[in-house]
Structure 1
């Protein structure tokens, strides 16, 4: 069976990725886990099941290749694994806990954890970060149950464990989870000097007008460069509703203006979206006026959420930002949105985040 290093070097040889010394140094940490999980179980009536390998917490700046290495690692596994964005996973956990409480289960964490551990051996998360107190209050108990069941956790993050939920409400109740991470996971920095995601977009056009076939062709090329053709569906659970992004990969999503602003979405949806993403592609932004006032209001709210979260925006639109909304109620207020859209086109936008 091929090692994680074998898969990495094959991608280098094919030209899909560029060799990076820091990434190569990180490969043995992934291979240690893959090799341990690949060991056949020892036979015998009284043989104890082997201890699961220690997991991995890999942190580092945005765009250093953490998600790519995680994908490569999961591709090498021969055991059931779940690859998910941490935020989306926690949304699912909250949704399932809410359902069980509705059925009269007083403490749903244990059955929820059992359902997860019964379905997978490895949980592979992108971008572990805790910003919500509801997440902070349950992750400790949730992962204690998962670890007890032998689930192996491999996760990436932009922060060292000690900075998770930093300055959060009642943080002292969260600190035991940080200690649990340090005990059950190998903590390792991916200290690459290159921000590959930013490099791919630096100096590139990211706002295309008009929204026509040529714009779509150029966005297709950027999307292929960012995702290497790998896509999945991201489902966010917001206040009991589902927000689905069918085209998603490694904290990057692609959607139409109608998907995001033509439906009955609100601030909570856009905040969840901004929290889950680092790059968003929006296609087909129309001219805005009194005729699509509600859609325009949603677009303003969406841009505000993306701006505050420093999400990289790639878009196609009927006109440049300053000319998108030139008449009708709301056109004056849109000047701030236009200014933000212009600022978000800068090559260095979001470069220093995380």
Structure 2
């Protein structure tokens, strides 16, 4: 009875928080249902930070600094932001890369996004003590992490932490979102409590932690404690929600994290309002969207250029045609340094195993159906790329309504591969664009001939109308193009400390 009453009280408190959060405007944040009042603003440019208090601070029980980034898009970066050797931050690093020839100048969309990142960078520096970014000073105030047992004990009462608004950077594929966020993250002091992680890895860690804390009264509160102790600044790449379980977890988890002062910086292909669009029980996810928009500045980065496709000539890793499978196996034999491929068993995360048909010298070869038609997910693919640096996939088909689940797994596989900078080669039924030509978002569905279920045309019947896949396919096509470039192969060699094998970069395709 006591546990039931405790759960009921917690549900009522959480419901009240949700009602308060959902009513908040995008640029201010409060967890109390007090009448609207003037909130403090912080107007930030790339060169200076000034506070303009229009009213008192937020309630004493939750001191949250409300932030507004004032970013001018009308002035050229080269004209307005001269960088000296003493300046720091993502804006200065961007200028240095342009000066060295590593990046091309003149992308106004990237420049606008950089000003927003630089603004956040400046705010974090000016409030690093208040928000607990410096690890040493934070530990001196809060004490050591304690014993393993104490870390599993739920907090009876959490101490509200001051925080600043984060940044939610969204836009199309290949616009440089990940590069800009990484530039921002790498320029921050190494002594700060910060973490950069891909969304798939983040959710895998959350699920793993929930398994260990499921006996606690509120496992998500315990997980939030662990995350907030390790990092107050959380940078998540490729934020996306396609699973109902993840949607429900994210809602409550970030409610806990934001209360603990977590600052979120994330990239995504979708505006917050489009997250988990059309998903099951989405109404339970809507409070998270409201919370996200109140705690993050939402900034769109647009571009007419997909930088992933501005790469060198094809490197012979993507095979199409009647002899594609034969060429793939020949290439696989060339990259294994003479080691004979053999079947093996790969131990994945959480005690799972996966049968690998052929493996040698860190390379694995699978048939498409063995990885994408089986009940596998992001956690399994992450475990696979922790064991192998190169994947060869034989027989990638065209996607449509007949293999929707396989299409989802394939896009997830490519995402995980790309995040791990692994090498990928495949034989496919068609080019990357043609693989997904029948997968359409709802907005494009009227452009296609729509027929009834009694249609005798199999081409029309196989069209797949799916909003999530309709967005995700562009990223997958872009990445399939990039991984076939010399630049990506060089990055792979650096990441795995391997000298390029001439046989692996031939042009016989």
Where on the TM-score scale, by shorter chain, does this alignment land: which range? 0.5 to 0.7
Q: Which has the higher contact order (CA 8 A, sep 6+)?
A: 1
CA deviation digits over 1:130-162, x for unaligned, max 9?
011111111122112111111110000000111
| C-alpha contact (below 8 Å) 1:275/1:309 kept by paired residues | no
1:211 and 2:331 are equivalent in the alignment: yes
Partner of 2:420: none
| 1:167-182 paired onto structure 2 within 5 Å | 167-182=278-293
Looking at structure 2, the residues matched to 202 and 347 of structure 1 have their Cα atoms a distance apart, in angstroms, of 20
Partner of 2:121: 34
| 1:173-252 paired onto structure 2 within 5 Å | 173-200=284-311, 205-207=316-318, 209=327, 210-211=330-331, 241=352
Secondary structure of 1:172's aligned partner? helix
Looking at structure 1, the residues matched to 251 and 257 of structure 2 have their Cα atoms a distance apart, in angstroms, of 10
CA deviation digits over 1:195-228, x for unaligned, max 9?
11233378664426431697799xxxxxxxxxxx
Looking at structure 2, the residues matched to 265 and 140 of structure 1 have their Cα atoms a distance apart, in angstroms, of 29
| C-alpha contact (below 8 Å) 1:257/1:282 kept by paired residues | yes
| C-alpha contact (below 8 Å) 1:3/1:31 kept by paired residues | yes
Query: For residues 316 and 265 of structure 1, do their structure 2 counterparts lie closer, same or farther at Cα, with a shift above 3 Å needed?
Result: closer
Looking at structure 1, the residues matched to 299 and 376 of structure 2 have their Cα atoms a distance apart, in angstroms, of 33
Partner of 1:132: 243
CA drift at 1:168: 0.5
| C-alpha contact (below 8 Å) 1:66/1:156 kept by paired residues | yes
Gaps of 5+ in 1: 44-48, 218-234, 244-254, 288-299, 322-340
Query: For residues 67 and 353 of structure 1, do their structure 2 counterparts lie closer, same or farther at Cα, with a shift above 3 Å needed?
Result: closer
Looking at structure 1, the residues matched to 117 and 353 of structure 2 have their Cα atoms a distance apart, in angstroms, of 33
1:12 and 2:98 are equivalent in the alignment: yes
Secondary structure of 2:375's aligned partner? helix
Q: Pick from 232, 254, 257 the counterpart of residue 364 of structure 2.
A: 257
User: TM-score, normalised on structure 2?
Assistant: 0.47
Partner of 1:331: none
Gaps of 5+ in 2: 1-86, 131-136, 138-159, 320-326, 338-346, 355-361, 396-402, 418-422, 437-471, 477-509
Looking at structure 2, the residues matched to 88 and 203 of structure 1 have their Cα atoms a distance apart, in angstroms, of 30
Partner of 1:21: 108
Q: What is the RMSD of the two structures over their aligned residues, measured on CA atoms?
A: 4.3
1:56 and 2:167 are equivalent in the alignment: yes
Secondary structure of 2:182's aligned partner? helix
Q: Pick from 180, 197, 205 the counterpart of residue 84 of structure 1.
A: 197
Aligned length: 281
| C-alpha contact (below 8 Å) 1:284/1:316 kept by paired residues | yes
Based on CA coordinates, which of the two structures has the bigger radius of gyration? 2
CA drift at 1:73: 0.4
CA drift at 1:193: 1.4
Looking at structure 2, the residues matched to 7 and 13 of structure 1 have their Cα atoms a distance apart, in angstroms, of 10
Partner of 1:115: 226
| C-alpha contact (below 8 Å) 1:113/1:146 kept by paired residues | yes
Looking at structure 1, the residues matched to 391 and 372 of structure 2 have their Cα atoms a distance apart, in angstroms, of 17
Partner of 1:220: none
User: TM-score, normalised on structure 1?
Assistant: 0.66
Secondary structure of 2:239's aligned partner? coil
Looking at structure 1, the residues matched to 193 and 291 of structure 2 have their Cα atoms a distance apart, in angstroms, of 23
CA drift at 1:83: 0.6
Secondary structure of 1:153's aligned partner? strand
CA drift at 1:187: 0.4
